[in-house]
Chain A
Amino acid sequence: MRRLFMLFALAALPFHAVADEALPVAADAALEARVQKLGEELRCLVCQNQNIADSHADLALDLKQQLREQIAAGRSDDEIKQYMVDRYGDFVLYRPPLKTSTLLLWAGPFVLLLVVVVLLLRRLRSRAIRAAVANTLSADESARARALLDGEENKA
């Protein structure tokens, strides 16, 4: 059980690794870097498998301009994300928020893992029992085995 817990703890690590925020904007390059970073978190709705930082769709360019203006106006990342969610819905976020409608999305893989681990353990155990049963000889069989072995010894 402890090992299982360790496994989950390890699986959760990457989420912490990316959770820190960018520093306040100092120069233009810093602002641009923040636009890039924030843009990577937001889905382009025109080309749904791209984020708006990568996309060159018209809408993505407009939304990047929005990011630039709002960052320059001193808005926080969360405020800007909320701005996007208010208009385009949770779908714009590449990392959907944890709520009842997304619970299955977040917990699903872990539940599946748990089910598979339980099935695997049960299977391994039943196999071990079967093997143990198969390895015990009946009295008759052991007598025959003894006889065979003795025979071998006599020959040698």
Chain B
Amino acid sequence: MKRYLWPLALFLVLAGFLFAGLYLNPREVPSPLIGKPVPQFSAPQLAEPGKTFSPADMKGKVWLVNVWASWCVSCRQEHPLLVELAKSGQVTLVGLHYKDERDAGLKWLKEHGDPYLLSAHDRDGRVAINFGVYGTPETFIVDRQGVIRYKHVGPLTPEKLRDDILPRVKQLETAAS
């Protein structure tokens, strides 16, 4: 009677794979940038176009890069969390203002609060390409040596922040400087 169990076994294996697949997120593509130095660039600052920002300015610090835009709906969703995070002073945030008008960006920050030390203005999205950005918002953790340690695609949630982002930041900060 064993042969009649074969289709059942096959079905169970297939069902197992499909069930596991339900919990995978096809939008989460592993980034090849993790473990690599943060891309070098020099971009005008959003608030002060006369000044530029370059990742080298952050050397020796653990910091977050957060890619955002005023047209990005899910950025709005995660924004209160970032404002709160900035207030708590646990980590420095640098914004990458992605493919957006300067005025729109400044107005948006005024309205919803500005959690960033500063934002680099990436008007044509070229800097973001070097970061492998494909869906705003995206958040990167950069360590003291300027190496990207973690990447999150999509809006941050309090759980994500508590369980994944902040523990990593803590760990990197206590690591030998």
* Chain A residues close to B by CB (< 8 Å): 45-46, 48, 58-59, 62-63, 66, 85-91
- In the bound complex, CA of A63 to CA of B99 (Å): 14
18 of the cross-chain contacts (CB-CB < 8 Å) are: A45-B29, A45-B134, A46-B135, A48-B26, A59-B133, A59-B134, A62-B124, A62-B129, A87-B32, A87-B129, A88-B29, A88-B32, A88-B132, A89-B29, A89-B30, A89-B32, A90-B32, A91-B29
Find chain A residues with CB under 8 A from B31 CB. 88-89
- In the bound complex, CA of A105 to CA of B124 (Å): 37
B172 at the interface (CB under 8 A from A): no
- In the bound complex, CA of A114 to CA of B50 (Å): 66
- In the bound complex, CA of A90 to CA of B31 (Å): 9
Interface residues of B in 120-146 (CB under 8 A from A): 124-126, 129-135
Residue of B nearest to A43 (CB): B29
B33, A87: Cβ atoms closer than 8 Å: yes
* Chain B residues close to A by CB (< 8 Å): 26-27, 29-33, 99, 124-126, 129-135
Ordered nearest first, which 3 A-B pairs have the shortest CB separation?
Answer: A45-B134, A87-B132, A89-B32
Task: List 20 extra interface pairs beyond A88-B29, A88-B32, CB under 8 A.
Answer: A45-B29, A46-B134, A48-B26, A58-B125, A59-B133, A62-B124, A62-B126, A62-B129, A66-B129, A85-B32, A87-B33, A87-B129, A87-B131, A88-B132, A88-B134, A89-B29, A89-B31, A89-B132, A91-B29, A91-B30
Could you tell me the distance in whole angstroms from the C-beta of B87 to the nearest C-beta in chain A?
Answer: 32
- In the bound complex, CA of A87 to CA of B128 (Å): 10
- In the bound complex, CA of A48 to CA of B28 (Å): 11
Could you tell me the distance in whole angstroms from the C-beta of A92 to the nearest C-beta in chain B?
Answer: 9
- In the bound complex, CA of A114 to CA of B118 (Å): 59
Find chain A residues with CB under 8 A from B99 CB. 58
- In the bound complex, CA of A85 to CA of B31 (Å): 10
Residue of B nearest to A88 (CB): B132
